[in-house]
Structure 1
Amino acid sequence: MELNIREEKGFKYLDEGKGETLIFLHGLFGALSNWNKVLDYFSKKYRVIIPMLPIYDMPLKEADLEGLLKFVEEFIELKKLNDFVIVGNSLGGHVGLMYTLKNQHKVNRLVLTGSSGLFEDTMGGSYPRRGSYEFVKKKVEYTFYDPTIATKELIDEVFEITRSIPTCLRMVSIARSAQKHNLAKDLSNIRIPTLLIWGLNDTITPPIVAHEFNKLIPNTELRFIDKCGHAPMMEHPEEFNKLFENFLEKNKVLI
């Protein structure tokens, strides 16, 4: 589906459908398009909101997880949202966890997929190398079990992002912040139903990370997708959607 990007008071976001609100948060190299097939599926029965995290253009001194958390809090406040589901991939899961821990009265269910917060091997253990297309291609392919998912269009998009020195500096700052910000001691405070959807072949946040989240968060459901890397919603969207929908149906809330 064609993306109808809205702009309001400095925020860029998608807002499609009606019903219970689902908020999706993308990862470090992510974009609104990462959720295309999820948006298309769930906007038929739910209100789907996807903010564009300001990873590439936020002030450098604010380029860390606290800065992203503040951004999400301000966006949710602007849209006057309550009683919603947060879904986060990779860094987006990390920010979603931080938001939930601080604002659990507003979140009724949480979904993490390839989330950081305990351990991650961001971009294969190295940071963006400006000007090297082959480097970017290799690292984008590293995200997926099937490297053909890393289309030329996707690689070109990431390459354009990493051509900017200020953008690379922001991304490095945010990645380092994520690696330092371990949430293990706080996860027992999450009491809402939580779904973990993990790629069985994820090399960035390996399956052992999913098992650790499952152990530390009290009310969790863990589901693995085979032949799948770090972004299940892109690599196996049909299976991701089915698992997510079953979780929503099983944990219905009255709003």
Structure 2
Amino acid sequence: MSYELKEEGGFSYIDEGQGEPLLLLHGLMGALSNWEKVVEEFSPHYRVILPMLPIYDLPLLTTGVRALSKFIHKFIKHKGLKNVILLGNSLGGHVGLIYVLAHPGYVKALVLTGSSGLYENAFGGSFPRRENYEFVKNKVEYTFYDPVTATKELVDDVFQTINDRSKVIRILAMAKSAIRHNMKDELRKITMPVALIWGRDDKITPPEVAVEFNELLPNAELHWIDKCGHAPMMERPEEFNQHLGAFLNKIKK
């Protein structure tokens, strides 16, 4: 990813373009590069901001989805952002849901793709054979409909991460926190516009999860992407961007 990573006030982030802010949140095993095609498509018309979530930097006792939501609030206040359109993939979507419940006045709309918060087959649930490269490769490929999307670079990054003892402990703690923090009873309080853009072949947060989100969120719309797994903005970026663009046009002032 060729965009400049800025370091300021204890935050690491990418900030491209001008206009209404789109704040993009990556998942538990994700990276800023997961959103590259979204930045490319929308930074000519929006201010696209990607903070690096401090998953590996939080004290172990406070490692959890609520701590990440508090981090996002500090970041939004630090940057002076208002009327944010918040996009989250996987754990990032879960953090976004917690954030908008706590601070609805800062967020104009929400976009969820492969979001946790109801149910997920957590990649981070356990790593019984984390030193086995082929095992890790199969796990990463499971994330996508087309295993070719799991490039060697991506597999190498995950392999390196989960074989770092400090990081893997925090991944496990974060995954358990996400599973404990089920949001079924709270979703009806989120009345802002929500777009659900979901891979029809997502095996981590399966299609029935998207259907349940759509039923529980009062102002949601659900869009399917065929032959697509858990990270549509990576695997089917053109279709993802079409759905996102249509939603953004719909909620324009």
Both structures adopt the same fold (TM-score exceeding 0.5):
yes
Residue 68 of structure 1: how far off its partner (Å):
0.9
In 2, the alpha carbon distance for the partners of 1:164 and 1:154 equals 16
Query: What secondary structure does 2:93 align onto?
Result: helix
Q: After superposition, where does 1:207-218 map in structure 2 within 5 Å? A: 207-218=207-218
> How many angstroms does 1:128 deviate by?
6.9
Q: Deviation per CA, 1:73-108, whole angstroms, max 9, x where unpaired?
A: 111111111111000000000000000111111111
Is the CA contact (8 Å cut-off) linking 1:130 and 1:165 kept in structure 2? Answer: no
Amino acid at match of 1:220: A
Runs of 4+ aligned structure 1 residues displaced above 3 Å come to: 124-130
Compared CA separation, residues 224 and 124, structure 1 to 2 (3 A) = farther
Query: Deviation digits for residues 158-212 of structure 1, max 9, x if unmatched?
Result: 1111121010000000000000100011100111110000000000000000000
- Distance in 2 (CA, whole Å) between partners of 1:28 and 1:127 is 14
Residue aligning to 1:108: 108
Show CA shifts across 1:200-235 (max 9, x none): 000000000000000000001100000000000000
Counterpart-to-counterpart distance in 2, 1:8 and 1:123:
31
Where does residue 248 of structure 2 map in the other structure?
248
Is 1:87 matched with 2:87?
yes
User: What is the rounded CA distance, in whole Å, between the counterparts of 1:33 and 1:210 in structure 2?
Assistant: 24
Residues 128 and 188 from structure 1, CA distance in 2 versus in 1: closer, same or farther, beyond 3 angstroms? farther
The verdict on how the C-alpha distance between 1:129 and 1:69 changes in structure 2, with shifts beyond 3 A counting, is farther
Give the conservation status (yes or no) of the 8 Å contact 2:55–2:171.
yes
Match of 1:185, SS?
Answer: coil
Aligned to 1:172: 172
8 Å CA contact 1:64–1:178 kept in 2: the answer is yes
SS across alignment from 1:14: strand
SS at structure 2 position matched to 1:57? coil
Match in the other structure for 2:57:
57
Q: Paired residue for 1:76? A: 76
Matched with 2:123 is: 123
Residue 58 and residue 132 in structure 1: after superposition, are their counterparts in 2 closer, same or farther (change >3 A)?
Answer: farther
Cα offsets for 1:29-50 (capped at 9, x unmatched): 0000000111111101100000
C-alpha deviation, 1:66, in angstroms? 1.4
**Superposition RMSD in Å:** 1.2
Report the equivalent of 1:10.
10
Which letter does structure 1 place at the counterpart of 2:223? R
Percent sequence identity is 57
Amino acid in the other structure paired with 2:225: I
Matched residue, 1:195: 195
Q: Does 1:27 align with 2:59?
A: no
SS at match of 1:108: strand
C-alpha contact (below 8 Å) 2:23/2:50 kept by paired residues: yes
Answer whether contact 2:124 2:171 (CA < 8 A) is retained: no
Residues 130 and 168 of structure 1 are in contact (CA less than 8 Å); yes or no, is this contact kept in structure 2?
Answer: no
- Cα distance change of structure 1 residues 92 and 128 upon mapping to structure 2, 3 Å threshold: farther
Give the whole-Å Cα distance in 1 for the aligned partners of 2:74 and 2:128: 29
| Counterpart position of 1:39 | 39
How far is 1:59 from its partner? Answer: 1.7
AA of the residue aligned to 1:153: E
Structure 2 partner of 1:134: 134
Give 1:71's aligned amino acid.
Answer: F
Instruction: Return the TM-score normalized by structure 1.
Output: 0.96
One-letter amino acid of the counterpart of residue 10, structure 2: G
Q: Is the 8 A contact 2:187 2:217 kept in 1?
A: yes
Separation (CA, whole Å) in 1 of partners of 2:11 and 2:192 = 28
- In 1, distance between residues paired with 2:114 and 2:186? 18
CA distance in 2, matches of 1:190, 1:3: 33
Query: Does the CA contact (< 8 Å) of 2:124 and 2:172 recur in 1?
Result: no
